[in-house]
Amino acid sequence: MKTLEIGDKIPQFVLKDQYGRAVAIADYVGKKKLVIYFYPKDESPGCTKQACAIRDDFAAYTEAGAIVIGINSGSVESHRAFAERHRLPFILLSDPGNKVLRAFGVKNILFLTGRETFVVGLDGKVAFKYRALLNAREHNQKILRFLAEDAAESGTGDAC
C-alpha cells in the first residue's frame, strides 16, 4: 500500500455521508480546496478534540476556500450522532472496510486506524499532508497554517 504524496492525484470514490447521501469526490474536485482527514473513531477523546477544533475554526476553512471532509469506517448512524452531538458543520463519510483509507495509503498505528489529513488543490492533487496519531489538535493548526500560507502565496484568499 503506497501512501499518497504531495503531487499525487487523489483516488476517485463515492461514500455515504452522515445523512446517508452518496457523496462522489469528483463532484467536489476543482470547485474548492479539499481538506480530507482520516480519523480512527467517532466519540473517542482524540477524534472528538480534532473534530471540535475544526468546528471552532470552521470559518477559517471557509475563508480559505476549503471544504472539510472527515472519513472513517464508522457507520452513517454513528457519524450522524457524532456530528449532531458536537454540532459539526462539515461532511463525515462512512468508509466501510476502510477502502478509501487504504487507497490514500493511511497507515494503521498499532490497533488503531491512522490519523492523517490531506489538503487537495483544485487540480485534484495532494498539496499538503500531515500525519500524527496522538496529537489530534495539531492537525487543525498545521492545516490552517498551510491554507493561510497558500492563500498568501497565490494572493487569492477565498477566491480559489
- Residue among 47, 64, 68, 120 flagged as catalytic: 47
Distance CA 58, CA 14 (A): 24
C-alpha cell of 15?
A: 461514500
Closest Cα to residue 106, out of 124, 82, 130, 74?
Answer: 130
Q: Check if 52 is active-site.
A: no
Q: Are 38 and 101 in contact (CB under 8 A)?
A: yes
Give the CA radius of gyration of the chain.
Answer: 14
At CA 90, angle to CA 65 and CA 25, rounded to 5? 70
Catalytically active residues are 47
